[in-house]
Every structure is written in structure tokens, then in C-alpha cells.
Amino acid sequence: MSRSEVLRLYRKMLKYSSMFSDYNFREYSLARVKESFRENRLVGLQKGICLLTRNRFLEDKEAITKAIEKAQKNLEMLQRQAQISQMYKGERLVIEAETPSKK
Amino acid sequence: MSAKIIQKKLFSLPSFICAIRRLPAVQPVRSLSTSVQDITKDTGSQNHNSTLSNEEATTAAALQQVTTSYSKNGYALDVTERTVLGRPVYLDAQSTTPVDPRVLDAMLPFYISQYGNPHSRTHAYGWATEEAVEKARASVAALVGANPKEIIFTSGATESNNAAIKGVANFYKERKRHIITTQTEHKCVLDSCRHLQQNGFEVTYLPVNKEGLVNLEDLKNAIRPDTVLVSIMMVNNEIGVIQPIEEIGKICREHKVFFHTDAAQAVGKIPVDVEKMHIDLMSISGHKIYGPKGIGALYVRRKPRVRLEPIINGGGQERGLRSGTLPAPLVVGMGAASEVCMEEMERDYKHVSKLSERLISQIQSSIPHVVLNGSPVHRYPGNVNFSFAYVEGESLLMALKKVAVSSGSACTSASLEPSYVLRALGVDDDMAHTSIRFGLGRFTTEKEVDFTVELAKRHVARLREMSPLWEMVQEGIDLKSIQWTQEH
């Protein structure tokens, strides 16, 4: 998978994370997605050669595909759960902004 | 021309995004909004800084609605009622936790299309559900380092505790009639022991020291030749103290006594290994690990075999120890929750420790005369129990309505008796009445912790201002030296 596809996956996950209607799930999901993409940034790293360079010979392709598959599954879960969260909205928490900028 | 392009763009949106906008939102049945008596604003505490960010402004607004104005005698000057929009911030992770979206996602198919009974052996509905149940069992077993055959699903930690204590005691009742437990156990353990006492058993309730830890020498001395079971909880639900389980397990193994631990608050939060800790029986709760309510598990060791007399008889499910159809959606939910916990344990522990340090340091630095109940070292960071001196307990709880916390008083009884756990620690009655338990979890944020601290600061200061005891303390009078009653 190319760099731009991974970034597209990342952006999609952030988009659905921000769609949770519950404050706690929303904040957790956003933070967690960012954390795991940051952690896995160096998956397949060998001898200092990064996924983001053109040199693919020394990548650990299996580890990368595994991480990406896991992210795909999580993305599908986020899509479903964000939808359900919108269907069964609870009330706002007392500390949430009056006019929520994200939906 | 431009309209056509706009139309084209609208139709190219994926269909499910449109579906989100079409579906009607379900209104919550009962409003969780707090209703607060908004007494006229205190002019002294008005925010002069008009350049607050949006976030700070909202928090400030939310806090300002509970400021009060009092006359010199302490009477409220003006009372207007106002409903505060919004449900309270949730800081009660020890009583229950929200169901993680990942867990809900795993459970839903079993409510919708995979509705077979896992014990049906003759068709695909049963086989598919059985497979899922066994997979969940393996997940729960992996979380605690056990074999899947050693996990029995129950309806919760209360049932697991009952089954373990009464089951073991009744199986070995011909030769062994003594049970050891502590004074700070959960109500269900204490009540099971009381029930056994009524049926001819003897129970020793070990005391705990000031920090909530049990003394190992006391335990060794209490074990008799006819002791069958020692039951000590791993993490206390009221004060968060972690008992020295490994050492206790070793002692029990030496003396050939069964060791049961109520690990409802510990599993999934701190690493638990039944082999390393020499545990024979363990109770696990589903809704404390971000799983559904109504499910729990009991770990029953097979090597060396622990025999139990079942408390629920029937078709022989769960090795004959707990008959009844397994609630497949709940079991799958508990399995998913265990998997998520295994993955997230390290990250959650770091997150909760950070929040806990923030909460404890902020409260201790900004509010004087506050006591943290329980050992500051041997504790699970997510459970913070503070006693605020010279503050009336019920008033503080009423004031903290914007935060969902629990008081130290017995949450199981409607009486105003102070908690037996705090009493076992040696805490005075007045301090036990003003104890508040803050529960931090995976989904708690820093903003919520800051909001709670701010609220607690304001209300403790306000309540202390009204308290004559506080005035006396400020003047330097030692309250213990006062004679409140006159001897005739």
C-alpha cells in the first residue's frame, strides 16, 4: 500500500472518530487513532529505511500489511459504531461546547 | 451550469452518509440533566478576563451557574431555579464502565441474526454460536493466564463470589469448617460468609492496617487445620488498595488451603496471572472491563482440582458447575472486552496513572485538610478516595451534582451509615461521611478531571466558610479537646 493510501485511511478514521455523538468515545477514538498511527509509523523499518521512501526492498511487507488490515477492520467498526452513536444520541455533557464545531 | 455540477456532486456521496441524516434521532427516555438551584451570581467571582478561549468560556459558564450569594448570616439571598443543560461528567468507573464501541460491535450480530442457542448441537445456528462462545472463553482465559476449560461464565461477580465461597465450603463441609476473609471485602463475600456462619461454619474476619493492607502474619496465624478457604480481594472497590496477592497465594499453597480472590476491579486493569499468584478461584466481572452488564466469569483451577458444589442445578452446562443457557451476546461481549483489555492494558494504565496524578496533586495542593484514604503506594491509580475535613458530606455530594462520583458511605444501603471499609481502616466517622470516590477510566479526559477539581475546590471552600468547626480550626482550637456535653 502506498503512502497516500495509508494517509487516506488515517483521515477516514479520524473523520468517523469525530462523528461519535458521545464526548468520551469521540475524544478517546481521536486520540487512540492518532496514537496508533504514530506508533506504527515505523513498522517495517529496517536499517533506517522508512516506509515513506521509494526504496521498498528492505521493508517487512508482512508486518505492514498486517497493520493495515487491522486498521481497515477498525475503520469498518468505527463506521458502524459512529452511525449507531448518531442514532442513539445521549445528551451533551456539561463541559461540552454550546455550539459543537464537529458533528 | 453550476447547478448541474452541484447536483452531480451531491449524488456522488456514499449512500450511508445520506442515511445518517435521514434516520430520526432517538430521544433519551429520561433526562440526565442536572437541575441546580441557581442562586444569584456572586459578584466577587465574576470572570473579568474576556479573552477566554471557547473551551474555557464554556467551562467557566458551566461553573458559574452554581456560584452562590449569601448574606452575613449564611442565608441565601435570592433563589431562582434553573435547569443546567447537560448530563454530569462521569467519574465513577468503579461502579460501572461504559460499553466500549468495539465490544458493542462484536455483540450486535448475536442480537440480530446469530440468535442460536450455543447448546443446540443439531443445527448451524447452535454450532456458530457455540464457536463464538468458545472463542470468548479463550479470550477471557488468556487475559488471566488460565486454560479455557477453567473459565465458567456466570451472571456477574456477585454470582461468582457466591458460587466460589458457598460451593467450596459446602463440598468440603464434612471435614473442614473454617473460612478466612478480611473486613474490607465486597458485601457479597461478607454476606456469603455470614450465611455460612448461620449454617455452622466459622469465619475469621482479618483486620486491615491503616493503609488497607492485610497483615501476612495475621493470616498465617489464623489458618487452622480445618480451614478450607481464604478469600481476599485483589483491588478494593472503595479505596483502590492492592493486596499482596502473590504472597497470600504462596501461604495458602503451603498450608494446602484454597485461595479465592475477587478480582472484579483488577482484571483487565493490572496484569493478573493465576499461575504466578497461586490463585485457585477468581471472580471476574464483565461490566467493570468495559463490557456488558449481566455477565461475569469464575476461574476454577483444574490442576490441582478444586471441587465445587454448584449453587445452580440444571442441565449440566459449564462443567456441571453452572447450569443454564449461556447468554451468547453477553458472553461474546465479555470475550471482546477481554481482548480489548489485553491490547490496551499498558496504554490504559499509563493514561489512568497520568490522570490520577493530576487529580491527586491538584486537589492536595489547592484544598487543605484533605486525606487520601488507602495506601498511596499499593493502589490502583484509577480509584481515588478523598476525605475532606470540616465539610458536611451530604452537602458536598449535592453540590457536586455536575460530576458523577460516589460517596464513601455504603452504596448498597439506603442508610447514612459510613462505609464499613473506611471504618475498618480506622477512619473517624466524620471523615468517613465526607469521603468521595473519584473513578478514572479509559475514556476519562484531562478536561473532565480539571473540571472536577475546579468544582470540588469551589464547593469545599464555600461549605467550609459556613462551618463553625472550620472557624474554630482556623483560630487554632484543637477540636478533640472540646467537651461537647456537660456531665451532671
Place of cell 479455557: B148
Contact by Cβ (8 Å): B171, B307: yes
Q: Cα–Cα distance between B436 and B211 in angstroms, integer?
A: 17
| Per-residue DSSP letter, B126 | H
Buried-state track B376-402, b at ≥16 Cβ within 10 A, e below 16: eeebbbbbbbbbbbbbbbeebbebbbb
Chain length of chain A: 103
User: What ranges in B383-476 are assigned the alpha helix state H?
Assistant: 393-399, 420-425, 429-433, 446-465, 468-474
Nearest to B16 among A78, A83, A91 (CB): A83
How far apart CA B350 and CA B103 sit, in angstroms, is 22
Of B448 and B75, more confident? B448
The verdict on a CB contact (< 8 Å) between A90 and B32 is yes
Pick from A95, A96, A99 the residue to mutate for testing the B interface (most B CBs within 10 Å). A95
Nearest-Cα residue of chain A relative to residue B53: A97
Report percent pLDDT > 90 for chain B: 70
Per-residue pLDDT at B452 exceeds 50: yes
Chain A residues within 8 A (CB-CB) of chain B? 20, 22-25, 27-29, 35, 77-81, 83-98
C-alpha dihedral sign at B61, B64, B65, B66: positive
Determine the average pLDDT of the residues in B429-446: 92
Look at residue B46 and tell me whether its pLDDT is greater than 50. Answer: no
Shortest Cα–Cα distance, B24 to chain A (Å): 7
Distances (CA, A) of B221 to B227, B330, B477: 12, 42, 44
Residue B465 has pLDDT above 80, yes or no: yes
Q: Do B88 and A94 touch (CB under 8 A)?
A: yes
Selected for mutation to probe chain A from B15, B345, B347 (highest A CB count within 10 Å) is B347
A·B CB contacts under 8 A: 85
pLDDT at position B40, please? 36
C-alpha cell at B435: 469521603
CA dist B408 and B431 (Å) reads 10
Q: Is the pLDDT of residue B85 over 80?
A: no
CA distance A17 to A7: 15
Structure-model confidence comparison of residues B324 and B82, the more confident one: B324
Residue of A nearest to B21 (CA): A86
Q: What is the DSSP string of B284-298?
A: EESTTTT--TT-EEE
pLDDT band at B425 (very low <50, low <70, confident <90, very high): very high
Residues B296-341 pLDDT 10s: 999 999 999 999 999 999 999 999 999 999 999 999 999 999 999 9
- Of residues A78, A79, A92, nearest to B86 (C-beta): A92
Cell numbers describing residue A20: 461519535
Residues B443, A85: C-beta atoms closer than 8 Å: no
What is the rounded average pLDDT of the residues B243-260?
96
A98 contacts on B by Cβ (under 8 Å) = 58, 61
* Contact of B242 with B269, CB cutoff 8 Å: no
Partner residues linked to B273 by β-bridges: none
Closest among B434, B442, B459 to B67, alpha carbons compared: B459
Which of the four pLDDT bands, split at 50, 70 and 90, describes residue B70?
low
What confidence score (pLDDT) does residue B412 get? 44
Please give the distance of CA B43 from its chain centroid, rounded to a whole number.
39
Q: Is the per-residue pLDDT at B78 higher than 60?
A: no
| Confidence check: pLDDT of B354 > 50 | yes
Cell of B235: 483491588
Distance CA B193, CA B283 (A): 16
Half-sphere exposure (Cβ direction) of B424: Cα atoms closer than 13 Å: 24
Q: Give the C-alpha separation, A84 to A36, whole Å.
A: 24
B474 against B262, higher pLDDT? B262
Query: What ipTM was estimated for this complex?
Result: 0.85
Does the beta-carbon distance from A77 to B102 stay under 8 Å? yes
Interface test with B, best of A13, A16, A80, A94 (most B CBs within 10 A): A94
Q: In chain A, what are the domain boundaries?
A: 3-96
pLDDT at B36: 42
Question: Tell me, what's the pLDDT at B455?
Answer: 93
SS3 B251: helix
Instruction: Give the distance from residue A83's alpha carbon to the nearest chain B alpha carbon, in angstroms.
Output: 7
Chain A nearest-CA distance from B2, in A, is: 28
Residue B242 neighbours by CB distance under 10 Å: 21
Could you tell me the CA-to-CA distances from A12 to A17, A30, B62, B69 in Å, in that order? 8, 11, 33, 50
Which cell goes with A96? 461540552
Convert the pLDDT of each residue in A31-76 to its tens digit: 999 999 998 887 765 434 445 555 554 467 788 888 899 999 999 9
- Looking at residue B101, its amino acid is P
- Lowest-pLDDT choice from B13-17, B71-75, B107-111, B435-439: B13-17
B101, A81: Cβ pair inside 8 Å?
yes
Q: What type of residue is B315?
A: G
Mean pLDDT of B449-470: 92
Q: Please report residues of A whose CB lies closer than 8 A to that of B348.
A: none
Residues in B closer than 8 angstroms to A67, CB to CB, are: none
Pick the range with the lowest mean pLDDT from B31-35, B113-117, B208-212: B31-35
At B161, give phi and psi (nearest 5°).
-60, -45
Whether the pTM exceeds 0.95: the reply is: no
- Alpha-carbon distances of B250 from B16, B150, B182, B257, B333, rounded to whole Å: 57, 20, 17, 10, 33
Instruction: Find chain B residues with C-beta within 8 A of A89's C-beta.
Output: 25-26, 28
Please state, in angstroms and as integers, the Cα–Cα distance from residue A72 to each residue in A80, B18, B49, following that order. 13, 22, 46
Percent of chain B with pLDDT over 70: 80
Torsion on CA atoms B342, B96, B103, B282, rounded to nearest 10? 50
Task: Tell if the CB–CB gap between B101 and A78 is shorter than 8 Å.
Answer: yes
Do B25 and A86 touch, CB atoms closer than 8 A?
yes
Mutate to test the interface with A, among B53, B92, B448 (most CBs of A within 10 A): B448
User: Which listed residue (B18, B193, B341, B411) is catalytic?
Assistant: B411
Mean pLDDT of chain B: 85
Neighbouring C-alpha atoms within 13 Å toward the C-beta of B351: 17
Q: How far apart are the first and last CA of chain B?
A: 101
Contact A89 B86 (CB under 8 A): no
> What was the pLDDT predicted at B122?
96
Residue of A28, A78, A81 lying closest to B442 (CB–CB): A28
Per DSSP, helices labelled H in B90-144 are 101-107, 109-112, 124-144
- B23 CB neighbours in chain A (<8 A) are 86-87
Taking an 8 Å cut-off on Cβ atoms, the answer to whether A24 and B98 are in contact is: yes
Residues in A touching B443 (Cβ below 8 Å): 24-25, 27-28
pLDDT at B414 over 80: no
Q: And the C-alpha cell for A13?
A: 478514521
- Is B411 an active-site residue? yes
pLDDT digits over B225-251, tens only? 999 999 999 999 999 999 999 999 999
Residues of B in contact with A91 (CB under 8 A): 28, 31-33, 85-87
Weakest-pLDDT range from A47-56, A62-71, B426-435, B449-458:
A47-56
Own/partner long-range contacts of A68-72 (Cβ < 8 Å, ≥24 apart):
A68/A1, A68/A6, A68/A9, A71/A9, A71/A13, A71/A36, A71/A37, A72/A9
Please judge whether B54 and A97 are an interchain contact, meaning their C-beta atoms are less than 8 angstroms apart. Answer: yes
Nearest to A95 among B23, B102, B451 (CB): B451
* pLDDT for B467: 87
Report yes or no: B83 at the A interface, CB cutoff 8 Å: no
Whose grid coordinates read 456462619? B197
What string of DSSP letters covers B343-364? Answer: HHHHHHHHHHHHHHHHHHHHHH
Rounded Cα–Cα distance for residues A33 and B310 (Å): 45
Reported as a single tens digit per residue, the pLDDT across B180-238 is 999 999 999 999 999 999 999 999 999 999 999 999 999 999 999 999 999 999 999 99
